[in-house]
Amino acid sequence: MAIYGGIEAGGTKFVCAVGTGPDELQAETQFPTTSPDETIGRAVDFFKAQPIELAAIGIAAFGPVDLDPASPTYGHITTTPKPGWTQANLAGRISRALGVPVGFDTDVNGAALGEHRWGAARGLDTFLYLTIGTGIGGGGMLGGNLMHGLIHPEMGHMRLPHDWDADPFPGICPYHGDCLEGMAAGPAIQARWGQPAQTLPDDHPAWPLQARYLALALANLICTLSPQRIILGGGVMNVPQLFPLVRREVQDLLNGYVQAPEILDQIDCYIVPPGLASRAGVLGALALAEAAASTQQ
Ligand code: ZN
């Protein structure tokens, strides 16, 4: 049976694992994301130390990334503000060092593929995975294919209506100010209220406002892409009251127009947490490896 390697390459930490799926992980490690040389070197050392030959490696990476196989900078992180990582050739260096096929995609597309393989999106062909954490990103499948296109989706930077009287906070996105990420990522909540999101009490006005922004984004995505399900991961979504607030707000915003029982009557099963919980990222990377190995054959 083929064994795969997966790298959840985050802006804060790298998680590396070896195995075939959620019930079959043979080794795992994690370390902070420092310079590309040191971080990629540690990942390579971990995989080289494994006693078995890996069939492929999957990398689910922070971005933006170049996903165009015809591009000379395919597999690179492109324009990140993270020091040292602009134009870092992540996939190429891993592939050269280990000599195996490499599957490379965004962190959210990786997580989406993992959820499709083993989690909350099994059996679906059109669904979304969004992470709401230190940033906001979204990916998923359309008609059974991971979304790529021109670059890759940047759902975190969609523009939303902003009621300046209700919320005078200008937002923190360096490009757009009050885009979705600028208003609703963890650091935006902290900047608006002057304390970290996880220290705000359950009945704080931060939460209905947060639910409002997320629901505005989801309503736009539902009307644009018609997903069969939406998975919301990331640290901010660990706040227990958020899911019910977001679901109700999505129903209110759509106002009965999208005539699907999933939205009208079964929204608890329509807007859901990841089936793989906090493992969605690294298991998604394993799923990318599995997909890379099967295209090679
Ligand atoms: Zn933005």
Burial 190-229, CB ≥16 within 10 A → b, else e: bebbeeebeebeeebebbebbbbbbbbbbbbbbeebebbb
- CA of 250 relative to ligand 1 center, distance in Å: 22
All domains of the chain in start order, with CATH: 4-107+278-295 (3.30.420.40), 120-273 (3.30.420.40)
Check whether 207 has a pLDDT greater than 70.
yes
- CA of 214 relative to ligand 1 center, distance in Å: 14
Q: Which two tokens stand for residue 23?
A: 């019930």
Give the confidence band of 278 by pLDDT, cuts at 50, 70, 90: confident
Q: Do 29 and 16 contact (CB within 8 A), yes or no?
A: yes
- CA of 166 relative to ligand 1 center, distance in Å: 20
Q: What is the pTM of this model?
A: 0.95
- CA of 171 relative to ligand 1 center, distance in Å: 9
Residue with tokens 């793989």: 276
Q: What angle do CA 38, 53, 102 make, to 5 degrees?
A: 60
Per residue in 99-119, pLDDT (tens digit) is: 999 999 999 999 999 999 999
Check whether 120 has a pLDDT greater than 90.
yes
- CA of 155 relative to ligand 1 center, distance in Å: 9
- CA of 156 relative to ligand 1 center, distance in Å: 7
- CA of 181 relative to ligand 1 center, distance in Å: 6
